[in-house]
């Protein structure tokens, strides 16, 4: 039997490849973006309690009322945007599911979706599966900022969606209020929907505020905003995320969601609802928590030959390795894991066209011991 693939450009993700190599070569894994420390004890206790108290069957498809209400409260508290927990908030099985559901709900065959390179690797396959086309616009290096004139030039009658990501993975760049004004001007009087990937919304540094599209009423009215509990609460394996969108967009989003996963892990939803209500300070304290890790990691790498790029948000450090080896990032990261004992992520898989830069991504959402071990090896290169 011959099967013609619907995703000819897709193989095993670079995250899986590098994590496998890290295990194989006993390397310190700073590749895949997950913490190697535990979620808050009170959150784990709430999860155990939910399971012990019988919340082990299907949750409501759109998410439990208690959790949707807590998200609505948080959204208004942080961004001044009032949403209905009944019609505007949907719980999903991770942010990746939410991103796919949003694209599948809105984008049709022949449409175009603008994405910014380096772009997270789940975006384009979801677009391809709709029979649509991803239009890639490279961010301006080294700031990884958006050239809004290039966006204007890329708009056509087929443009259906613009997909933004802030804080940005892999660079850590963040959008400003001025960026949102530019975006609003571009999409005004068009049918374009904005999909805003904000999974690192609570990890912004140096006293800056996260500029969610939910702060901007005009954009909020045409946007689907995706966030992640896994990133905020150090529990990526629980795979719980959510989407916030106006009622008409949410209705279409939910049509797809119900046939993707129908519902999300019930005990975790109960645990998050309880923890959000009792420990709202957690996400408020997260910037300081990760800034301490960022600053510590950067200090550890100061003696190395790596050039450290700025990190305004997120929990990844981009490093320029050109003083160590003059080779493409795929080759360097393979050499690094095998010979240097550290797993990193190359940027090329995040691009439509290889950029020719000498950059690699390191994750610092790690324990002090992990960062110490990695830095010791990196400083020997």
pLDDT on residue 273 = 98
Determine the Cα–Cα distance for residues 287 and 234; give it in Å rounded to an integer. Answer: 13
Q: Using an 8 Å Cβ cutoff, are 355 and 348 in contact? A: yes
Fold assignment, 41-280: 3.40.640
- Give 300-351 as a DSSP string: HHTTSSPEEPP-SBSSEEEEE-TTT--S-HHHHHHHIIIIISEE-EESGGG-
Q: Which helix (H) or strand (E) holds 227?
A: strand 223-228
The pLDDT > 90 percentage for the chain reads: 91
pLDDT on residue 336 = 96
pLDDT on residue 123 = 97
Rg (CA), the chain: 20
How long, in residues, is the chain?
381
pTM summary value? 0.96
pLDDT on residue 269 = 98
Q: Using an 8 Å Cβ cutoff, are 97 and 257 in contact? A: yes
pLDDT on residue 305 = 98
pLDDT on residue 32 = 83
Give the tens place of pLDDT for each residue, 31-47.
988 899 999 999 999 99
Q: Which distant-in-sequence residues (6+ apart) come within 8 Å of 365 by Cβ?
A: 33, 34, 35, 36, 234, 290, 293, 315
Give the tens place of pLDDT for each residue, 285-321.
999 999 999 999 999 999 999 999 999 999 999 999 9
Q: How far is CA 279 from CA 22, 26, 74, 282, 283, in A?
A: 36, 37, 12, 6, 9
Determine the Cα–Cα distance for residues 123 and 138; give it in Å rounded to an integer. Answer: 15
Determine the Cα–Cα distance for residues 362 and 329; give it in Å rounded to an integer. Answer: 13
> Which residues of the chain form CATH 3.40.640.10?
41-280
> Which residues of the chain form CATH 3.90.1150.10?
14-38+282-378
The correct answer on CATH 3.90.1150.10 for the domain covering 14-38+282-378 is yes
Give the tens place of pLDDT for each residue, 129-139.
999 999 999 99
- Give 134-153 as a DSSP string: EEEEE-BTTTTB--HHHHHH
Q: Which residues of the chain have pLDDT under 70?
A: none
């Amino acid at each position: 039997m011959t099967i013609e693939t619907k995703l000819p450009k897709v193989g095993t993700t670079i995250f899986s490849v590098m994590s496998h190599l890290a295990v194989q070569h006993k390397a310190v894994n700073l590749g895949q973006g997950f913490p190697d420390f535990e979620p808050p004890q009170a959150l784990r206790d709430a999860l155990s309690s939910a399971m012990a108290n019988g919340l082990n069957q299907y949750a409501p498809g759109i998410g439990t009322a208690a959790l949707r209400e807590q998200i609505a409260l948080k959204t208004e508290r942080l961004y001044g945007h009032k949403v209905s927990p009944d019609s505007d908030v949907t719980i999903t099985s991770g942010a990746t599911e939410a991103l796919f559901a949003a694209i599948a709900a809105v984008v049709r065959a022949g449409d175009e979706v603008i994405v910014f390179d380096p772009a997270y690797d789940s975006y384009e396959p979801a677009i391809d599966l709709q029979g649509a086309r991803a239009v890639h616009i490279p961010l301006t290096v080294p700031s990884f900022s958006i050239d809004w004139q290039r966006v204007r030039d890329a708009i056509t009658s087929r443009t259906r969606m613009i997909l933004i990501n802030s804080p940005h993975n892999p660079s850590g760049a963040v959008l400003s209020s001025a960026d949102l004004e530019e975006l609003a001007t571009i999409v005004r009087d068009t049918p374009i929907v904005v999909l805003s990937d904000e999974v690192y919304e609570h990890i912004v540094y140096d006293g800056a505020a996260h500029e969610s599209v939910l702060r901007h009423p005009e954009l909020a009215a045409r946007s689907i905003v995706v966030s992640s509990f896994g990133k905020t609460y150090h529990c990526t394996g629980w795979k719980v995320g959510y989407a916030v969108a106006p009622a008409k967009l949410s209705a279409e989003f939910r049509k797809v969601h119900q046939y993707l996963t129908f519902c999300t892990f019930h005990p975790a939803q109960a645990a998050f609802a309880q923890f959000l209500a009792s420990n709202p300070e957690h996400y408020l304290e997260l910037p300081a928590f990760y800034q301490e890790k960022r600053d510590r990691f950067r200090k550890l790498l100061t003696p190395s030959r790596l050039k450290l790029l700025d990190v305004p948000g997120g929990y990844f450090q981009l490093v320029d390795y050109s003083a160590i080896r003059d080779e493409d990032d795929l080759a360097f990261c393979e050499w690094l894991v095998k010979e240097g004992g550290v797993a990193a992520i190359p940027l090329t898989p995040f691009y439509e066209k290889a950029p020719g830069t000498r950059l690699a991504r390191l994750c610092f959402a790690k324990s002090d011991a992990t960062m110490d071990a990695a830095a010791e090896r990196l400083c020997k290169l």
